[in-house]
Chains A and B, each alone.
Chain A
Amino acid sequence: MSNTRPLLEVRNLRVEFPTRRGTLVALDDVSFDIHPGEVLGVVGESGAGKSMTGAAIIGLLEPPGRIAGGTISLAGRRIDNLPYKEMRTVRGREIGAIFQDPLTTLNPLYTVGRQLVETMTTHLPIGPGEARKKAIEWLELVGIPAAAQRIDSYPHEFSGGMRQRVVIALALCAEPKLIVADEPTTALDVSIQAQVIALLKTLAREKGTSMMLVTHDMGVIAETADRVAVMYAGRIAEIGAVRNVVKHPSHPYTIGLMGSIPPISHRLERLQQIEGSMPRLSAIPKGCAYNPRCPHVFDRCRSERPELIPARDTQAACWLYDPASGTQAAEVRADA
């Protein structure tokens, strides 16, 4: 995969929110690639900036949020500075978006059938009759029972999970090259989830569709993603092949995160949790943003900010893995 040119290149992305209380930096120097046919999973603390990263890519940052630095390129063409109208075409045809909130995508006043048909007739060379046939097929593909009967229903007549599946159908029906999927399976039961995941994987394999998959569900990540980025406080804390990040994480935050996954095989008296909470954007500590919660913190962590460097099997933004950190870090590494 590394010899192909990436489909998506995000470089040093910085997103800011000017507020009366000063400028908040929501994303700070975020860089990653997604190759054709590749699924990049994005996980991390709630509020870390996962949705923000997705919104920046599809050009839908909510004002006053704005891209204050860096570049985003799709198939070699910069898309972070396109005029609104041009970006709208890119968004429909080349990038499909599945939002965390299904209500923002679905228009409550139109039937789901009408919304699917309009999306297809806008972006594909087909007429309304064929589009309606395809709309029913898509609804069946995402597992809506009696699709032909329910195509003329309004969004509020569907359950939470069914609405989410309609949103997935809407994102896929124009056959985009890149899908930015923000929590696409959160509202779904395990069985439908398995079905949707299988569908997304088939698209990646057979049509070379790439995907940025934001989710809290490590099971979904383990099954779907090729690589995983772990975000914390507006930055990437760790990135690497899925197996290495999930099974052999290096960054102390990732280690804590993986340790919090509830087991299915037995009941715990108390779930493992990371003590404390992520800093507010207006109070990100100097040095490593994780340092107030990190069990391995040492002096350097409180003064210098770590960048992504090779760690055991991944890339991690952590001073433990910098040879220049000296003996203190080596001791902690040996213990960890």
Chain B
Amino acid sequence: MPDMIPAADTRPMLETQDVARFFDVSRPLIQRLLAGEGKRMLRAVDGVSFSIPKGTTLSLVGESGCGKSTVARLVVGLYRPTRGTVIFDGQDLAQARADSTQRRRMQMIFQDPYASLNPRWRVRDIIAEPIRAFGLLKTDAEIEARVAELLTHVGLSPLDGQKYPHEFSGGQRQRISIARALSSNPEFLVCDEPTSALDVSVQAQILNLMKDLQRELGLTYLFISHNLAVVRQVSDRVGVMYLGRVVELAPAETLFTTPRHPYTRALMEAIPDLDMTGRQRIPVGGEVPSPINPPSGCPFHPRCPLANDRCRAELPQLIPARDTPEAVVACHAVEEGRDGGPMPGVALAETGAAVAAS
């Protein structure tokens, strides 16, 4: 198992074992017959294994389209896996699906706050829906008080409950979906880009709130974000995905100080330069490969500066990295020790830039 960090004494809250999800993106049958082509499968997620100990946060990062949201949907049971299993608190999700207690215990905040709120419902009913569905509170007065508390938590006013979603800005709607996700007292929250629609000051409020809830109630999070600075603030561990697979999984501190996989390093190079030191962002070079025809061997090889013949032929497995064994990395170069070893990542590089600039 790729998970090398001993999970306290408790069982993991969530575990995925070799989970995969393919989509059929073939053209209509008649066109396919005319052109003489076969079915086309898109491998959105292709063999992902990780576990999240109770009370901790695992973040997933990686290029757009690499399969993060698909993992999120698999984990909460919105998609059935094409292969593999998802285990929630010791129980196979495929069997637990019908169990409403299990559903109450996990909630998801969706990437798109526009699509996930029912436009015809008042905000207070949207937020109260899980409370009512699971019969968590008896009286209307109790429900109203709870909704007011949740609205205040996310920086809105209890008076906002009577409005409809279209009366709110993008970021305000995202706060409504956060309040809704919290309303059923879940133990496990999947947060798909929960704060990217928010300004940095509301973002700070929400992230602090999430941390407080984790400390007080022991919540477990699967967190997805493009913003690596945010990921650094909230994560215990970070998984880096590339083309449907996890290519590096490490404690957050290790990942940011000594990123090992060539793709992880490239991602760090592409971080925007807020200090305006004039540092050029280096986008990851090369073509983004297609999940319909993934490259042979290591999927990163067409863009990797360290690629060789072995990389083009053999798929690397996630194994503890040389010198930083707390990280598991899927890379032949790291395994063979021809990657130059652990090198400073962002933390040290930034300090260097600051010194150079002053």
Distance to closest chain A CB from B304 (angstroms) = 14
Q: A261-B274, A264-B346 are in contact. Are A189 and B201 (CB under 8 A)?
A: no
Which residue of A50, A190, A268, A274 is within 8 Å of B272 (Cβ)? Answer: A190
Which residue of B61, B64, B199, B284 is within 8 Å of A216 (Cβ)? Answer: B199
Which label, helix, strand, loop or mixed, suits the secondary structure of the A interface?
Answer: loop
Q: A198-B283, A246-B276 are in contact. Are A277 and B155 (CB under 8 A)?
A: yes
Which label, helix, strand, loop or mixed, suits the secondary structure of the B interface?
Answer: loop
Distance to closest chain A CB from B240 (angstroms) = 11
Size of interface on B: residues with Cβ below 8 Å to A: 72
Distance to closest chain B CB from A267 (angstroms) = 6
Tell me, yes or no, whether B30 is within 8 Å of chain A by CB. Answer: no
A198 to B166, CA, bound (A): 33
Tell me, yes or no, whether A217 is within 8 Å of chain B by CB. Answer: yes
A274 to B205, CA, bound (A): 8
Tell me, yes or no, whether B307 is within 8 Å of chain A by CB. Answer: no
**0/1 per residue, B209-228, Cβ < 8 Å to A?**
00100000000000000111
Which segment of A74-82, A157-165, A326-334 sits at the interface?
A157-165
Contact A216 B283 (CB under 8 A): no
A145 to B346, CA, bound (A): 28
Tell me, yes or no, whether B204 is within 8 Å of chain A by CB. Answer: yes
Contact B170 A273 (CB under 8 A): no
A157 to B288, CA, bound (A): 17
CB contacts under 8 Å to A, within B320-358, are 346-347, 350-351
Query: Would you mind naming 30 contact pairs between A and B with Cβ atoms under 8 Å apart?
Result: A44-B199, A45-B201, A45-B202, A46-B175, A46-B198, A146-B290, A159-B65, A162-B64, A183-B197, A187-B64, A192-B64, A193-B226, A195-B283, A216-B196, A216-B199, A222-B272, A222-B275, A260-B200, A260-B204, A262-B229, A262-B230, A262-B233, A266-B347, A267-B232, A268-B233, A270-B208, A271-B203, A273-B205, A277-B156, A280-B160
Residues of A at the B interface (CB closer than 8 Å) are 43-48, 50-51, 62, 100-101, 103-104, 143, 145-146, 149-150, 152-153, 157-162, 165, 183, 186-195, 198, 216-220, 222-223, 243, 246-247, 256-257, 260-268, 270-274, 277, 280
Given A186-B196, A277-B156, output 14 extra A-B contacts at Cβ < 8 Å.
A45-B201, A46-B170, A46-B171, A46-B172, A100-B170, A143-B288, A191-B63, A194-B270, A194-B272, A223-B272, A263-B229, A265-B346, A270-B208, A273-B204
